[in-house]
Structures are given as structure tokens and as C-alpha cells.
Structure 1
């Protein structure tokens, strides 16, 4: 195991993922496309690189890959921390917060009130608005606009509903300790009326946070719309710690009804793998989708970390990256609707590629074309091996093993010898996800960065995201089998940075 000393920690700064310059970040907030720019707001400590002083940081991008850090958007003060929320484009100025010529962007966020406030100890929902494209924000004088007198009512995601029940704003938020999503409606973003609640259901091993609700066509059929409700929980994920789950069903403008609920009330630990997970890895949390994206695309982004060890990861002066942006679709798989996910990547980044076909693997086989930042696309055809896969970011002594066990129907990531794992007792792990063959083969699309690996298996049917902290010299890629042989039908390694 290699100990990574402080001077090398900046070597982990990602090339393909957003991280702030020198501060802490966690949940993505207020994701929106507006006038040619994608805006990423996020939970941010402007004064340090551990959690605290929660404010909304801000970054912008035109391509979802290269991000420019902007000044803090909405700052904490002596009365409130600024917890998670969302941003909408109030095109028709229903809120009245526009200036008469420009329709406002309106942020709906959780005020976590401090002792100095008349609402001390309460979490309630508040507004801020911007008329300069999301760069400067003013808090609404009438905050909070929705108060349940609860200490754990948070994370509002707001969208414009237009359906049989009418046209109005809908908010989904959580009562975190009750494992419940609560839904409200408003005509002006200021006055809110209760609609309904959902939960507890499926995974309830930790508090519920950061919900989202959106429609998607099933199997590309615009006449067959389903609604997807996502909710993140901490802890209680399929491999431990933080994770995100989702439900698929119907929303009539008032009530969400799930058709994919496995258990109601308290979760059944024996059925954990039957639930629908946004990602099976340890480091994909607080995922929410962008608003106002052209062509109706549904794009999501998450915090790439885990609350078990989030404050301790060995990076400096920054701490925590975001995931790649993913486009999500809804498909029928084994008779049930499931999300599939594809990483959004700029084609211009796909330049230097090494390709192989029809490789026989028996034991360990090194391949040329490794790197610290790359896209690996591989298709395996099983043979007699009990397990086969790749070792990435390897240097002969260390590496991250990505394996497939066809007999068990599992995908695995082993980061026990991936580099620096000693910074926290919960980090070293072997994490798994269910994986079935398609047409007798297994295809993986793997994005490797300086401190992470994001795996999209079987055309995005299964995803698994993990942080890693390898020795910077470890850039090798090897194929391996154990207990027999396998074949690599195709392998492409593309340098991304």
C-alpha cells in the first residue's frame, strides 16, 4: 500500500470531473440550462475543505465537461445555512420577481436556520432570484415560503407541471427522518399547498434526501410516458454508505404511484438487491437532474463521494468531485421499466485511441495504451474462467480490479490495493452489482480519471462509480482471468487528457 503524502495530493485533481479550486463541495443544486450555459450550483464551504458554512457554490459550462468556477452564488449568513434545492426559469414571471424586462431565474432552497434566527432549529423552504442569468442572487424578503415547523424538511426540487390537473409549479421535498417525499403545488412559487406524500418504501436504511421527479418516454415511445421518482439515502446503499434509488410509476399532478415498489415501510435487508439503484457504487450520491435542457433531454449529475469518509479523502486543497453528467432513458428490461444511463462526453475529446480485437486471455495479459485519464471500452466473451476483467491504474504492485463473475451474475470493483486506502477504515472495499450477459457477452464503458472510475455496463443498464487514489505512476491496464480462460472480442483505450 502506498502512502500518499501531502505534496502529491493535488495530483488527484480530476481532468474530466468538476472540483472546486480550493474548497469543499457536496450535493449538486439548482442544475439548469439557460441561454447557452449549463449552471451547476452546489453545496459549498467557501471557507474550508471540510463540510460546514453551507452556501451555494457555482460553476458554468457550455459542454458539460469543462467547467468554470464562478463566485459563490448564495452565501450563508448569521441566520441561515443554505442547504440543497433547485432553480427554475420563471419564463412568465409567475413569481413577480422579474424586473419587468427579464424573466427571473428563481432558486428554491432549504434554509437551515441557526440559533440567531426566529426559526432556530427549523428547516424550511426559501426563495432567491436572479435577473442576470444566474450570476448574482437576491434573497426574497418573505422567506421562508414553506415551513412545516420541521427540523428535517429539506431539498426542494421544483418543476413546471402541465397536464390534466392544470398548469402549476410542483415541489418535491423530503421529511428526511420519516423516509417520506412530500409534494406541494404553487401558482407563484411563493404560496404552496400540500398535494400528497410518498413513502416509506424500498430502501430505508438511512435518511432520505435530494428527491427528483420527472417524466420519461418508455422505450422511446412518446405516447407511453412514465414518471421517475429518485430519492437518495444515507446510509443504506447496496454496498454501504450513501446511495440513490428510484421508483417508476404514474404522476397525475397530485399523487405519485409507484409500479416498482418492492417493499413498503421498513426495508427488508434480504431484498436490497431487488431495489432500483441509480448507481451500485460507493460514490454516487445526491443525484438530481437539470432543468430547462433543450430537446427535453434528461441529464443528471451527482456528488462523487460517500458520507462515510467524505471529509477524509486525501485531496488538498480541494475536496470532493462531481460525477460526469449522464443522460438517462427509460427502457423495459426483463418486463420491468429501468433507467439506462450514458455519460455525456464531448466527441472532440476522443482522439488518441489504441484498439484490439479477438484477444485470448488466460491469466494476466498487459496491453499497451494505458493512462491516468481515459475511456476504456471492452467486450468480453466468457469461456471457462470463474472471473475475468481488467486491472486499471496499475503499476505492478497496485491497481483497481474490475471483474465479472458470470456464474454469480456479478460485476465487481476491488479497490483494496488501489493505492491510498488507509485514510479511513471504511474506504477499502470490494463492491458488486448484478450483471447479466447480453447475447452471450459483457460490454463495459469505463471512464478513468485521476481519482475515480465510472463504469457503464451493458449499454448503461448497470452503473458503478468509485473513488480511487492510485499512485500517479500507476497508469497500466491489464486483462486477467482466474480459474480458466476468456476472450476479449474488442478493446478500445482512448486517452482523454
Structure 2
């Protein structure tokens, strides 16, 4: 059993033979930023690069600021990769890695015995910095998409990969993507409803790629993929965002890995926006206030180039569910 000493920023490992008497085996931490509490620990074994004979353990942590100086970023999640011998977890490096680069992914833990032996987590899409200020009609609070976890090696280090659930991957695999000619003049793609959009392009050809997501409010989300700075930024702005809380409008920065073809999967479910970058090497989860109207995704690039686009509409009514390519 994993527990936390929240203020001390420690994870404590206990064992028991009867679930009544518990023995303390080891302690992890403190590491990382001060002025936060630790919550919701989980410890998950994952094969490195799919090799079952090479397993590392991933310790998940949620952290929330408690200092007198209010951190505008609020809640976030991190992880450590290491070894676990059944009693002691030994991290490979004493530095927390950001699990999700957005503002609204917290308190995720894994499922035991998920189908096909997959490691699956589910997170709360919220942030204690402004959770009490979010609109409460018709509802407040939601969970993320389930995420399948794996480990891959990047520049000699193990990185956590998060992928959307199987039904999303299966529906996208059944779609013949459409090639869209993108240039400095924005191309507007009208989305028919909630669903997922997968984009693929060559950054060495497009240069900077800008995506803008809007609907029927003055709120907007701007996603900028910049190969010159090896970064992806996600900015939510506009009056609809500003009125939620002074710290709601924000920009999240994701460092990109190496020089490679770009792949971005965007999931929009009402106010829930989740981005899976480069096959899940990085994720960004944000609440967005776009309204209930038909969303529009605008694409513009630094240089004229083709972008592959596929859309899976995930209709709320199963009987009319449909999958199609964007025309």
C-alpha cells in the first residue's frame, strides 16, 4: 500500500498480511519543488520499449501548491522512473518529470487488471486553483479519457508515453486521412461535433504550424508547433476564459523531442480538450470555454505544405455514431 505524508512530500510503502496490521517498509522523498503537498500516489510496472524482460516502475504523484504565495499554475502531476524490489522504490534520478503539461490533469491513478494487461490511468480534469469558480451549469467536474501507459527510451532515458484508449485508436485506424493544403492563409475546418482529430505533417517543410480552435463564444485556443524552438505552446484566451478566474487564461509550453515528423491527436469533448503530442510522448489537458456551437479548427503554416487530417466524430448517441474522413 502506498500512502503520502502530504506536507513532508513523502511516499510511504506499507505491507500487510491481513489488511489490519501494517508494516512500514520504505519512504520515497522529498524531491522536487517545495511549497506543495503530494497526493494520490501510484506505482506501476511497465516494460521498456515493449521488452517484457526489461521492466521499470513508474511512481505517479499529484502536487498542489500550499504556500502563502499563490502559484498561478496550481495543481499538476509528475512521475519518477525507477526500480522496485517489493519493499523499496529507487528512482533512477531525483528529479520529477511533468506527466501532463496542461492545467487540468490531476489525481490520476491506475486500474488493476485492465483488459489485455494494459496499464490504464484516468485523471480528474480540473485544477484546485480555480475549481470552485468554474461554471456549475449544467455540471461541474469531469474525468479525462482513459490513457494507456508505456515506457520508451529517448536520448538514453525512459520516458512515459500516454496514448488514448483502444476505441479511439481503432476508429482513427479505419479512416483514410485527407490531405489539406495549408499556407499562411488560414484554412477553416468545421467539426461536426465532439470527437478526435489527428494531424500529421513534416515540420521541416511547414515551419511553424498554427492551429486555432473556436466556437460560439469569444474564447479561443491557439496551438503553435514551432520547430525552430522545438516547442509546442497551447494558449487559451478571450473574454469567456478571462471571466472564469484571473489565472484561467494561460499558456502551456511543451518541449519537443528531436527532429521528426510531427503527429498531434486532439480530443474535444465539450469543454474538455486533450492533446497527445508525438504519439503520446507529451500530453496537454485543458478545460476550455468555447460554447456549445459547432467548433471550427483553423490551420495556418509558415510555408505552404500538405497536412494530413483525419477526424473521428464520437457522437453521444451510440445509434448514430459515425466515423468519417474530413472532406
Whether the TM-score (by the shorter chain) exceeds 0.5 is yes
Q: Is 1:307 paired with 2:128?
A: yes
The partner residue of 2:277 within 450, 457, 464 is: 457
Higher relative contact order (CA 8 A, sep 6+): 2
Matched-pair contact (CA < 8 Å) for 2:104–2:285: yes
Unaligned runs of 5+ in 1: 1-170, 263-274
Structure 1 counterpart of 2:254: 433
Aligned pairs, number: 311
CA–CA distance in 2 between the matches of 1:418 and 1:359? 31
Which whole-Å CA distance do the structure 2 matches of 1:239 and 1:332 have between them?
Answer: 32
Structure 1 residue 286 and structure 2 residue 107: aligned? yes
* CA spacing shift, 1:492–1:438, aligned 2, 3 Å: farther
Structure 1 position 480, deviation (Å): 1.8
Q: In 1, Cα distance between the equivalents of 2:168 and 2:112?
A: 23
CA contact (8 A) 1:185 1:193 kept: yes
Distance 1:279 1:486, change over 3 A: farther
Q: What is the deviation of 1:403?
A: 1.4
Change (3 A) 1:191 1:354: same
On the 8 A contact 1:379/1:491 being kept in 2, the answer is yes
Q: What is the aligned partner in structure 2 of residue 24 from structure 1?
A: none
**What TM-score comes out, normalization by structure 1 length?**
0.58
Q: Does 1:297 align with 2:118?
A: yes
CA-to-aligned-CA distance 1:279-316 (integer Å, 9 cap, x gap): 11000000100012243211001100000001111132
1:444 equivalent to 2:264? Answer yes
Q: Does 1:390 align with 2:211?
A: yes
What is the Cα deviation at residue 386 of structure 1? Answer: 6.3
Does structure 1 conserve the Cα–Cα contact (< 8 Å) formed by 2:182 and 2:299? no
Deviation at 1:185, TM superposition (A): 0.7
- Given that 2:217 and 2:240 are in contact with CA atoms closer than 8 Å, whether structure 1 keeps it comes out as no
Deviation at 1:317, TM superposition (A): 4.3
Deviations for 1:24-44, whole angstroms, at most 9, x for unmatched residues? xxxxxxxxxxxxxxxxxxxxx
The reply on whether 1:330 has 2:151 as its aligned counterpart is yes
Determine the C-alpha separation between the residues in 2 that align with 1:181 and 1:339: 20
| Structure 2 residue aligned with 1:258 | 91
Give the match for residue 25 of structure 1.
none
- CA distance in structure 1 between the aligned counterparts of 2:15 and 2:126, rounded to whole angstroms: 32
TM-score by length of 2: 0.87
Supply the distance in 2 between the matched residues of 1:348 and 1:445 (Cα, whole angstroms).
10
Q: Is the 8 A contact 1:398 1:418 kept in 2?
A: yes
CA contact (8 A) 1:380 1:442 kept: yes
Could you tell me how far 1:414 is from its partner in structure 2?
A: 1.1
Q: Which residue matches 1:494? A: 312
Q: Do residues 469 (structure 1) and 296 (structure 2) align? A: no
Residue 141 of structure 1 aligns with which residue?
A: none
Question: What CA distance in whole angstroms lies between the structure 2 residues aligned with 1:203 and 1:388?
Answer: 33
Name which of 138, 160, 165 aligns with 1:344: 165
1:349 positional shift = 8.8
Equivalent residue runs for 1:79-478 within 5 Å? 171-235=1-65, 240-262=73-95, 275-346=96-167, 350=171, 355-357=177-179, 359-367=181-189, 369-382=190-203, 387-394=208-215, 398-417=219-238, 419-439=240-260, 441-478=261-298
**Contiguous gaps of at least 5 residues in structure 2:** 316-327
Compute the RMSD of aligned alpha carbons.
Answer: 2.6
Moved more, 317-326 or 200-209: 200-209
Distance apart, 1:384 and its partner CA: 7.4
